[in-house]
């Protein structure tokens, strides 16, 4: 078969790999001059910069682990045990927050523990699960953890009233420690949560994009860049993609964008796709002196006084080749709804906020580099599931297969993108047979 793939991110490239290996012909259409999407990396003055925040290589799936690690020889991936903190009222609190209660001041610890037990008792008594994220936080974590950390931190990320955010995404995304772990943590015993990402890997050279590049290498000229698809139309048994005929189409471009180019899409599906919401992300890299680098993987910043960034990654800790000799780096993430004007004053203010928090010395910063990602996070508003289902049903009724974080509006990490790509290709080939 001859198959068109819209979008050259990790989902599109993974699907193309599996199709080519099965003996089919693919053409990938990527609108940007350089492919990679959310896993793009740059090297600027010797500093590696992951454009869409600090990615890590981890997965629960054994097949996916073998596939991704199979692109590397021994020593080409750096293994790391996660050491992540929350900078809370000047204290380094163990992550996840409920696993780090022993690091809090006594009064905060008591408030968090009482709230967690109250919520636990209420659930055991049959309290129904709220359908909004604000209510879910109280229901699962209790008011102490909610008020001190979960609410301010998540409002910083989502730029929305949490009562207007649904909960379809929380499973596997929001750490949820068992009561015993919370009790042990509050009494000062170290417990680990979110353990599936406790140990992770990262490419020694080239940033996270190195994995993408190795996956894409066998595709050669099949990956077209700087080509934005304007029209996709089903004509009989084939599909016309900007005047070229294909047997099937896989789309990884955002559903709201696909709705503008897919001919024959029902008005209901188009309206649903256009109503899906997202958040953008600006990543900022600071080149810093090595002495300022903390021995941590990444750090959460829940307080407004800490500046607009919700998280920083010590990217130079992921690989010794991520910064010049004797230097280190901090990668900051700032989410936003709609455009964010980045001025020199804004960058200076962010640097100064990190200086006040003891994260860097502003007189030792020798690089500030940033990149804006329009499509970064899915906003799960209350009617998200209905809108998504209507949009996907409309696309699939035309025989087009949606795939990827924004191709399907599935909140996928890179490993889940690869797993979904394999499943989509299997589905396509089974249908063809």
Fold designation for 2-37+210-277+382-432: FAD/NAD(P)-binding domain (3.50.50)
Query: Which is more confidently placed, 177 or 365?
Result: 365
What pLDDT is stored for residue 44 in this prediction?
98
What pLDDT is stored for residue 90 in this prediction?
95
Distances (CA, A) of 415 to 60, 102, 138, 381, 420: 9, 33, 31, 25, 9
Q: Is the pLDDT of residue 242 over 80?
A: yes
Cα 104 from Cα 119, distance rounded (Å): 20
153-170: pLDDT as tens digits = 999 999 999 999 999 888
CA 144 to centroid of chain Cα atoms: 27
321-380: pLDDT as tens digits = 999 999 999 999 999 999 999 999 999 999 999 999 999 999 999 999 999 999 999 999
Two tokens, residue 346: 């804004």
Kindly indicate the confidence band of residue 191, based on its pLDDT and cuts at 50, 70 and 90: confident
Average pLDDT score over residue span 133-146 = 96
Kindly indicate the confidence band of residue 433, based on its pLDDT and cuts at 50, 70 and 90: low
Query: Which is more confidently placed, 198 or 295?
Result: 295
Two tokens, residue 60: 């629960």
pTM: 0.95
The percentage of the chain sitting over the pLDDT mark of 90, rounded to a whole number, equals 93
54-78: pLDDT as tens digits = 999 999 999 999 999 999 999 999 9
Cα 102 from Cα 106, distance rounded (Å): 8
What pLDDT is stored for residue 173 in this prediction?
76
CA 266 to centroid of chain Cα atoms: 30
The percentage of the chain sitting over the pLDDT mark of 70, rounded to a whole number, equals 100
What pLDDT is stored for residue 312 in this prediction?
98
Q: Is the pLDDT of residue 226 over 80?
A: yes
Query: In 305-368, where does DSSP find H-type helix?
Result: 344-356
Q: CATH 3.50.50.60 region(s) of the chain?
A: 2-37+210-277+382-432
DSSP letter for each residue of 200-230:
EEEESSS-THHHHHHHHGGGGGGEE-S----
The closest of 240, 333, 317, 251 to 285, measured between CA atoms, is 333
Print burial letters for 134-164: b (CB count within 10 Å at least 16), e (below 16). Answer: bbbbbbbbbbbbbbbbbbebbbbbbebebee
User: What integer best gives the mean pLDDT of the chain?
Assistant: 96
């Amino acid at each position: 078969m001859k198959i068109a793939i819209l979008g050259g991110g990790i989902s599109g490239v993974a699907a193309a790999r599996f199709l080519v290996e099965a003996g089919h012909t693919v053409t990938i259409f990527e609108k940007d001059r350089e492919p990679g999407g959310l896993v793009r990396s740059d090297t600027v003055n010797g500093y590696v910069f992951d454009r869409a925040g600090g990615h890590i290589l981890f997965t629960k799936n054994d097949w996916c682990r073998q596939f991704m690690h199979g692109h590397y020889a021994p020593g080409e991936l750096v293994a790391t045990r996660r050491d992540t903190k929350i900078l809370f009222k000047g204290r380094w609190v163990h992550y996840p927050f409920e696993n780090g209660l022993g690091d809090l001041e006594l009064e905060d610890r008591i408030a968090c523990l009482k709230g967690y037990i109250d919520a636990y008792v209420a659930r055991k008594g049959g309290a129904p699960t709220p359908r909004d994220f604000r209510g879910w936080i109280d229901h699962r974590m209790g008011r102490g953890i909610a008020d001190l950390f979960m609410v301010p931190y998540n409002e910083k990320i989502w730029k929305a009233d949490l009562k207007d955010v649904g909960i379809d995404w929380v499973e596997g995304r929001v750490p949820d420690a068992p009561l015993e772990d919370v009790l042990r943590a509050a009494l000062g015993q170290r417990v680990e949560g979110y353990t599936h990402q406790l140990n992770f890997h990262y490419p020694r050279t080239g940033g996270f994009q190195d994995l993408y590049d190795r996956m894409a290498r066998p595709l050669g000229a099949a990956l077209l860049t700087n080509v934005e698809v304007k029209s996709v139309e089903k004509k009989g048994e084939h599909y016309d993609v900007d005047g070229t005929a294909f047997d099937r189409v896989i789309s990884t471009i955002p559903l709201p964008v696909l709705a503008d180019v897919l001919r024959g899409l029902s008005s209901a599906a188009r309206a649903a796709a256009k109503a899906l919401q997202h958040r953008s992300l600006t990543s900022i890299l600071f080149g810093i002196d090595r002495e300022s680098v903390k021995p941590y993987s990444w750090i959460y910043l829940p307080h407004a006084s800490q500046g607009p960034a919700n998280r920083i990654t010590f990217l130079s800790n992921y690989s010794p080749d991520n910064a010049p000799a004797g230097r280190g780096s901090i990668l900051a993430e700032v989410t936003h709804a709609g455009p964010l004007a980045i001025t020199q004053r804004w960058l200076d203010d962010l640097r100064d906020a990190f200086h006040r928090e003891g994260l860097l010395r502003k007189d030792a910063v020798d690089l500030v580099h940033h990149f804006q990602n329009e499509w970064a996070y899915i906003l799960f508003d209350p009617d998200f599931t209905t809108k998504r289902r209507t949009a996907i049903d409309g696309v699939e009724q035309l025989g087009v297969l949606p795939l990827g974080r924004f191709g399907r509006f599935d909140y996928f990490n890179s490993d889940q993108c690869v797993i979904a790509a394999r499943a989509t290709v299997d589905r396509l080939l089974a249908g063809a047979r």
